[in-house]
Chains A and B, each alone.
Chain A
Amino acid sequence: MTTGGAQQADVAGMPQALMASDGREPLIAIRDLKVHFDLGGGSKLERLVGGSGVRRVVKAVDGVSIDIFPGETLGLVGESGCGKSTLGRALLRLTEPTGGHAFFRGRDLAGLSKRELRQHRRHLQMIFQDPYASLNPRMTVSQIIGEPVETFRLARGRQEREARVRELMQTVGLSPRFLKRYPHEFSGGQRQRIGIARALAADPDFVVADEPISALDVSIQAQIMNLMERLQRERNLTYLFISHDLRAIRHVSDRVAVMYLGKLVEVADAKVIYRDPLMPYTKALISAVPVPDPEIEAKRERIVLQGDVPSPINPPPGCRFHTRCPWAVEACREVVPPLAEIKPNHFAACIRISPEEPDIERVAPSDAPGLRNPGRVIEQ
């Protein structure tokens, strides 16, 4: 997944690895994107006073490459601290990337000036997780939704703007009667609708939805997911849907990308990845999702991983998952596994599997000696 310098501005010449086989042009093309946060440390002085003497760098996003195609929903899933939100924010340059590229219709967003970026932002919008924190409490709904309309001059005059706000409110299922109300007068689900209306106000092509349903009640989650799907159909939107909720991701996504400690470890069609996960981390993640069916729960085998996700500060070398992987061998400590096409359009980062033998269970039965075999808990 390396990107040569010569390929930077040329979409057609970008690495083909993640292109769909039908040759569609991606709407968003991410190439070797990096967001590193330098926490300092590692100075001589620190070593003198007995510190570790190691520079601490959080590699929140560390070389991510993927395409997002027009009209699709790419689900981005991972546990807290894996960098999925940072990736979403870096795409819109809400967090500045420290390396790599993100192309929108062939233009590299990373190279845009502030002014050019602002014009592009119209096409790139975001829905945030916390509908309580992401709306200005001192602005009315009309002002909140009307702001992008004004910023991007999408309406002439106050009346036209207000008409547009009313229309947007109806689109997301809010009564225009609430035009002059403030965010605190709404429930969580309604606030998320306001956030969605604001994102739509600029008539975007691409929306990053960062955990849009996590803060909502179960019965409201379905409402928001259905709303987002309807809007996608009506407006031909492209979504990057970020969530830790694998059930929601499975429901809304066309393709799913799994992230672990700053890197993509598996990318595949949503149905396929749930039925046939290849990379050991994805296997564990999917087996850990509780299924709302007691019959299945009673029979399931779960891969219960030992230990916690390691700190993203100076993450483990080699495959970042090797510290928890039941199938890891010595080489996993040293080799950074590339995201390789193991099956057609199914990419996984694991050196132990290959197109010839994609099943880790067959490569290494659970009782085979490995680097670390804590044993998987098997339930009956």
Chain B
Amino acid sequence: MMSGDNGNLLSVRDLRTYFETEDGTVKAVDGISFDLKRGETLGIVGESGSGKSVTNLSVIRLIPSPPGRIVSGEVLFHGQDILSLPAEEVRRIRGKRISMIFQDPMTSLNPFMRISRQLMEITQLHLGHTREQAYEHAVRMLETVGIPEARARVDSYPHEFSGGMRQRVMIAMALSCEPELLIADEPTTALDVTIQAQILELIRKLKEETGTSVILITHDLGVVAGMTDDIIVMYAGKIFEQAPTRELFAAPGNPYTKALLKSVPDPVHEEGTDLYQIPGLPPDVAHLPPGCPFAPRCYHAEEVCRREFPPFVQLNAEHFSLCHFAGEVYAESRAERDARGGATPSGANVEPSENLGAVDPSENPTQGGAGR
């Protein structure tokens, strides 16, 4: 488990990132381990303060210090520990072999620099392009991400672009050097639904074409459902559940994941009932209760949960859950799934789901035909 590759592009081992604040030590990330295989997409889901963004800033060593500090752990990229590399070498990896897209493209783009220059900088630095090569490359990248009239617009300033276009520019920058790993931190949160669909489509297409591995960080369970191979659910700096995407949605083994799934309105299966609501507030990570951090909000919590920190239980080959009652919760979920009749919703609700967009050739011959 500790050594090298095994088809893993990235292996994070027992990562701990703490922040010193007036309020005491905040254990933003506290003992996170995961693997990312080549060409796969990993979703990291969590609410604010869960540690999902800090995990990824740690991976690329962008934790502001002070107050932040990577206390321990390993981040193996191709078997090489990024955390123990000299800063100079990390800089060579960052932006070239691992690149990032952030939520707000306006704060990540320099407002005083033309788009062209911002794109050229990267390839001049990392690929040794000449000015002409870099300029051509910049135009090509804007075309790749679907900016119309790329050549005419490459010399624009960021404010001349809309939110969706700026996010495309960010993606163009991130993909300029054909990175092996793309980290997208809430890439569509600031965007409208139809633009979100465009951007997700773009990431999916580019991933297929280039084979880039992706880490997608989001609070939106809908976004990860359609985009990822595996999912990690984080809460209070810990991994609460880890599983292949379909497995996680079909049979969650952690009460937090279950509650989260039930608390999101689902336009397909909706029956007009009250939403399940998780009581209480997200935890104050500086003052965590003893025992399980989710216990105060958990429908399943018992005495032991408030007393003892839960174990990380392996439910099957690829499915893990941090819970004293992981086995029971998992069994409960599987029973519920079977009662629903496998992974499909109950009969009464099938019809709306088809009309919401699932392909049904008998009903929409033109759509179905074009898709095949």
Chain A interfacial positions (CB closer than 8 Å to B): 79-80, 187, 189-190, 217-223, 225-226, 229, 244, 246-248, 250-251, 271, 274-276, 284-302, 304-309, 361, 365-367, 376-380
Contact = CB atoms under 8 A, between A and B. Distances in A.
Interface in B285-317: 297
Contacts of B272: 271
B198 interface: yes
Given A222-B277, A275-B352, A300-B357, A294 B226 contact: yes
24 contacts: A190-B281, A217-B47, A219-B260, A219-B282, A226-B274, A246-B267, A247-B264, A247-B266, A250-B265, A251-B270, A288-B196, A290-B220, A293-B269, A294-B245, A295-B343, A296-B356, A300-B226, A301-B371, A302-B201, A304-B197, A366-B366, A366-B370, A376-B370, A378-B371
Nearest to B49: A217
Ordered nearest first, which 4 A-B pairs have the shortest CB separation?
A290-B222, A297-B226, A251-B265, A288-B197
B356 A287 contact: yes
A235 to B, nearest CB: 17
B264 A218 contact: yes
A306 B163 CA distance: 14
A376 B194 CA distance: 13
B282 A217 contact: yes
Contacts of B148: 307
A185 to B, nearest CB: 12
Given A223-B279, A250-B267, 19 more contacts: A187-B281, A217-B47, A219-B47, A222-B264, A226-B275, A286-B267, A288-B194, A288-B197, A289-B222, A291-B222, A291-B268, A293-B249, A294-B226, A301-B357, A302-B357, A304-B194, A304-B198, A308-B164, A378-B367
Given A217-B219, A222-B278, A276 B367 contact: no
Nearest to B267: A250
Nearest to A307: B148
A80 B263 CA distance: 25
Given A219-B282, A248-B265, A274-B352, A292 B222 contact: yes
Interface string B251-276: 00000000111011111111010111
Q: Which of A187, A218, A379, A380 has the most CB atoms of chain B within a 10 A radius of its CB? A: A218
Contacts of A307: 148
B264 A274 contact: no
Contacts of B219: 217-218
Is the interface on chain B under 10, 10 to 19, 20 to 34, or 35 or more residues? 35 or more
A225 B370 CA distance: 39
B336 interface: no
Contacts of B57: none
B265 A300 contact: no
Contacts of B277: 219, 222-223, 226
Contact of B366 (A302, A304, A361): A361
Contacts of B164: 308
A307 B194 CA distance: 9
B353 interface: yes
Nearest to A223: B277
B193 A308 contact: no
Contacts of A274: 267, 352, 356
A244 B263 contact: no
B246 interface: yes
Contact of B353 (A287, A296, A298): A296
B129 to A, nearest CB: 30
A30 to B, nearest CB: 24
Contacts of A299: 358-359
Contacts of A289: 193, 222, 267
Contacts of B220: 218, 290
B130 interface: no
B201 A292 contact: no
A287 B357 contact: yes
Contacts of B343: 295
Given A275-B356, A292-B264, A250 B275 contact: no
A299 B368 CA distance: 11
A62 B351 CA distance: 36
Interface in B161-198: 162-165, 192-198
A377 B282 CA distance: 38
Contacts of A276: 355
B192 A367 contact: no
Contacts of A300: 226, 356-359
Contacts of B353: 296
B119 interface: no
Q: Which of A248, A301, A305 has the most CB atoms of chain B within a 10 A radius of its CB? A: A301
A357 B274 CA distance: 36
Contacts of A291: 222, 225-226, 266-268, 356
Given A218-B219, A222-B263, A300-B357, A251 B275 contact: yes
Contacts of A251: 265, 270, 275
A357 to B, nearest CB: 14
Given A218-B47, A292-B249, A293-B225, A79 B201 contact: no
B250 to A, nearest CB: 8
B263 A221 contact: yes
A297 B222 CA distance: 9
